């Protein structure tokens, strides 16, 4: 099972071919893809066309889904952020902290195209695909 970040889904839906979208395409056929509520929010909020919104919602409705943020996990994720800040590294979006933190805590690899995940790999062992 892998978690796929919004950055890859956006490229995939736009028809952009890169290493990540090719891996996503193979993964959709060969293994279970996990969609987190934060990723689902990011994707759906950016869709302007109502038909595309319904179609995308249906696609993700068939995938394993989970809540990525809870009061307990919020404290853990804040500590990841604070540790990085203490090292002079600022993560630009809180959603990236949530996604990375969820993957670290649940030992799930993350398919992504966002440099903000690299410090989580270097300092906390996040597996990036």
* Residue 61 covered by a domain: yes
What pLDDT, in 10s, does the model give residues 80-95? 999 999 999 999 999 9
Whether this model's pTM surpasses 0.75? yes
Could you list the residue range(s) of the whole structural domain that residue 85 is in? Answer: 2-124
Are 109 and 2 a contacting pair, CB within 8 Å?
yes
The CATH number for 30's domain is: 3.40.50.1010
* Residue 129 covered by a domain: no
* Residue 100 covered by a domain: yes
Task: Report how far residue 109's alpha carbon sits from residue 129's, in angstroms, rounded to the nearest whole number.
Answer: 7
| Widest CA span in the chain | 45
Q: What angle do CA 92, 97, 102 make, to 5 degrees?
A: 160
Domain count along the chain: 1
What pLDDT, in 10s, does the model give residues 23-63? 999 988 887 888 999 999 999 998 999 999 999 999 898 88
Residue 7: both structure tokens together: 């950055």
């Amino acid at each position: 099972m892998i978690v796929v970040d919004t950055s890859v889904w956006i490229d995939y839906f736009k028809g952009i071919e890169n290493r990540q979208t090719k891996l996503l395409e193979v993964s959709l056929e060969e293994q279970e893809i996990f969609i987190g509520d934060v990723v689902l929010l990011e994707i759906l909020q950016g869709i302007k066309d109502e038909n595309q919104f319904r179609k995308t919602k249906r696609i993700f409705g068939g995938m394993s889904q989970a809540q990525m943020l809870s009061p307990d996990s919020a404290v853990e994720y804040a500590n990841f952020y604070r540790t990085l800040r203490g090292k002079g590294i600022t993560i630009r979006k809180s959603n990236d902290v949530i996604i990375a933190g969820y993957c670290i805590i649940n030992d799930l690899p993350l398919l992504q195209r966002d440099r903000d995940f690299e410090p989580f790999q270097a300092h906390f062992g996040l597996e990036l695909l």
